[in-house]
Amino acid sequence: MKLATWNVNSLKVRLPHVLDWLASSQTDVLCLQELKLEQEAFPEAELAAAGYGAAWFGQKTYNGVAILTRLPLAPRDVVRGMPNYPDPQSRVIAATVGDIRVICAYFVNGEAITSDKYQYKLAWLAAMQHYVAGEMRQHDGRVVLLGDFNIAPADSDVYDPAAWQDKVLCSQPERAAFEGLLALGLTDGFRRFHPDTVAYSWWDYRAAMFRRNLGLRIDHILYGHALAERVRDAAIDTTPRRWERPSDHTPVWLALDDSFST
């Protein structure tokens, strides 16, 4: 099974990219963030024609998340949002795919550490840790958390650590929250296979940042301890970032050694 995450920065704009990438990558489960679509505007028919079912949680203008899966298997036991955490923003959707609990999340950006949005981010991160802890218990560690985390976990994940020190996405409380998720029994898939590789998943549109490879690794796939023996590879695919009118993010994927099963 191949699982991936991609912040598409508008599914309406990037749907052709998603369809092309699904066809070429042969991904079984794709988690999308920043749909920027209302619930009823989701392109269910187009994805079904490409061989994918979906569960989604839309929102006008901003946010929005989705889990796409190869047909005929579909996401089961879908939960939208984090239970017991009222949030007006559509940022989390979870479903069971095969024997794995998949959580797709678009983490809060936070804007700046002096902003009220940063305080919202810290509260949201605490709620996420509590939520994932419960999912890990309920599903015996067969959990994969995928998404745009808006956190660069270490200086090696930032093109200029000095410039980003104590800034949003790289602040100590955010990195501590990331470590808190790992402490639940999760592993950073990319770092397991590429412990020393300098690689990024997001580049600002401005100042030719992608061409100069000045980015941040803020899109992640964390897998639960019960899946450790099944994980075989992980990577960041920068190809879609080279396409015309790309998202500012690129896909990250994780491969398990078993087929797509129920």
pTM above 0.95, yes or no: yes
Domain-located, residue 186:
yes
Amino acid 101 reads R
The number of beta carbons lying within 10 Å of the beta carbon of residue 137 is 12
Q: How far apart are CA 234 and CA 136, in angstroms?
A: 21
pLDDT over threshold 70, residue 262:
no
Task: Return the pLDDT at 61.
Answer: 87
> 154 by DSSP, 3-state: which?
coil
Owning domain of residue 217: 2-256
Q: In terms of DSSP bridges, do strands 100-106 and 219-224 run parallel, antiparallel, or are they unpaired? A: unpaired
Q: What is the CATH number of the domain that holds 124?
A: 3.60.10.10
Q: State residue 71's pLDDT score.
A: 87
- Domain-embedded: residue 261: no
**pLDDT band at residue 259 under the 50/70/90 scheme:** low
Catalytic residue, chosen from 52, 106, 131, 223, is: 106
Within a domain: residue 114? yes
Residue 167 lies in a domain: yes
Query: For residue 4, what are the β-bridge partners?
Result: 30, 253
Give the pair of three-digit tokens for residue 1: 């099974």
Is 34 inside a domain boundary?
Answer: yes
Q: Is the pLDDT of residue 261 over 80?
A: no
Write the pLDDT tens digit of every residue in 162-176.
999 999 999 999 999
Q: For residue 73, what pLDDT band results from cuts at 50, 70 and 90?
A: confident
Residue 262 within a domain: no
Provide the number of structural domains found in the chain: 1
Q: What's the whole-number average pLDDT of the chain?
A: 96
- Give the active site residue among 148, 188, 219, 248: 148
Strands 92-97 and 100-106: antiparallel
Model confidence pLDDT, tens digit, residues 25-61: 999 999 999 999 999 999 999 999 999 999 999 998 8
pLDDT in tens, 196-236: 999 999 999 999 999 999 999 999 999 999 999 999 999 99
Residue 258: which pLDDT band, with cuts at 50, 70 and 90?
A: confident
CB atoms within 10 A of CB 197: 12
> Does the N-terminal peptide bond of residue 72 adopt cis geometry, omega within 30 degrees of 0?
yes
> Is residue 148 annotated as a catalytic residue, yes or no?
yes
| Catalytic residue check, 196 | no
16 token code pair: 């052709």
- Residue 37 in domain: yes
